[in-house]
Amino acid sequence: MIYAIQVNSSPHHCNSGQTAYYFIKAALSQGHNIFRVFFYHDGIYHAFNYSTPPDDEQQLTTLWSDLAQHYNIDLVVCISAAQRRGLLHADEAIRQGKQDNDLAAGFRISGLGQLVEATLVADRLIVFG
């Protein structure tokens, strides 16, 4: 099967992002495909490059980045949700007159059209959070 995944919750408030990550790992190990992971609402906090949870907690941003690199998975962050929460990629930071590129490796910014496309391509859309 081809799956599209949507992550809506912050990694700091519940474990749905972690559950999504492990679901994807299990699906891939069973030969399924992940078309895209779309981070929406507070789910965009998974994409913050400078997120630094305590050492005894999982580094979900790093896990997502490694997953994207290893399996060539498209990790898309909703641009509207990101802007509302202060996550800027390099182009938007320049446009806003800011210095930082807050987007972690493996993630990219785009709009809801990417979520719509994912629902059209995938056999199933699974929403976490």
Catalytic residue annotation = 78
Whole-number Å distance between alpha carbons of 30 and 51: 31
Whole-number Å distance between alpha carbons of 47 and 17: 11
Cα distance from N-terminal residue to C-terminal residue, the chain: 22
What's the Cα-to-Cα distance from 24 to each of 10, 33, 89, 96, rounded to whole Å? 18, 9, 25, 35
What is the phi/psi pair of residue 48, to 5°?
-70, 120
